[in-house]
Amino acid sequence: MSNQLLKRYASRIQRLIQQHIVQHSIHKNYILNLPAIGNFVRIKTFGMIEEKTQILLMRRERKMVRMRPYGMCPHFQSTPPTDHRPPHQGSSDGRSRTDPKLLLLVETAYPRLGRELAETLVHNRLRYKMEVAGKSLPALTNLDKGRYSVIVFENYHRYLNMDKWNRELLDKYCREYGVGILGFFPPANRHMTGVKVKGFPLYLHTKLSLRDAMLNSASPVLRVARAGGVYQGPFPGDDWSVFTANHTTYEPVAWGSNSSGGERDEYIPLATVMQDHGMYDGISRVLFGNGLNFWLHRLLFLDSLSYLSKGLLSISLERQVLVDIDDIFVGESGIRMWKDDVHDLIETQDRIRQLVPGFKFNLGFSGKYFHRGTWEENEGDDTILENVDKFNWFCHMWNHMQPHLYNNETHLEYEMSLNKAFAEAHGIPANSSYSVAPHHSGVYPVHELLYTVWKKVWKIQVTSTEEYPHLRPARLRRGFVHRGIKVLPRQTCGLFTHTIYVDRYPGGRKKLDESIMGGELFQTIVYNPINVFMSHMSNYGSDRLALYTFESVFQFIRCWTNLKLVSSGPMELADKYFKMYPEEIDPVWGNPCLDQRHLKIWSYKKSCQHLPKFLVIGPQKTGTTALYTFLSMHPNISANIPSKETFEEIQFFNGRNYYKGLDWLVTS
Supply the residues annotated as catalytic: 621
Cβ atoms of residues 409 and 368 within 8 Å: no
Question: Residue 15 belongs to what H/E stretch?
Answer: helix 3-17
The sign of the torsion formed by the CA atoms of 389, 394, 397, 399 equals negative
Strand partners, 152: 104, 182
Gap between the Cα atoms of 550 and 323, Å rounded: 9
Gap between the Cα atoms of 150 and 98, Å rounded: 9
Gap between the Cα atoms of 188 and 290, Å rounded: 10
Question: Residue 392 is which amino acid?
Answer: N
Question: Residue 343 belongs to what H/E stretch?
Answer: helix 339-355
Question: Residue 585 is which amino acid?
Answer: I
* DSSP structure class, residue 185: P
Longest dimension (CA), the chain: 93
Q: For the purposes of burial, counting CB atoms within 10 Å of the CB of 335, is it exposed (0-12), middle (13-18) or buried (19 or more)?
A: buried
Beta strands 485-492 and 530-536, pairing class? parallel
Cβ atoms of residues 388 and 428 within 8 Å: yes
Cβ atoms of residues 275 and 286 within 8 Å: yes
* DSSP structure class, residue 98: B
Beta strands 392-395 and 362-365, pairing class? parallel
Gap between the Cα atoms of 270 and 288, Å rounded: 12
- The angle that helices 545-560 and 520-527 make with each other, rounded to 10 degrees, is 60
How many other CB atoms are there within 10 angstroms of residue 63's CB atom? 4
Instruction: Respond yes or no on whether the N-terminal peptide bond of residue 473 is cis (omega within 30° of 0).
Output: yes
Q: What DSSP letter does each residue of 379-434 carry, written as one string?
A: HHHHHHHHTGGGSEEEE--TT---GGG---HHHHHHHHHHHHHHHHHTT------B
b/e 496-511 (16+ beta carbons within 10 angstroms → b) = ebebbeeeebeeeeee
- Start-to-end CA span in the chain (Å): 74
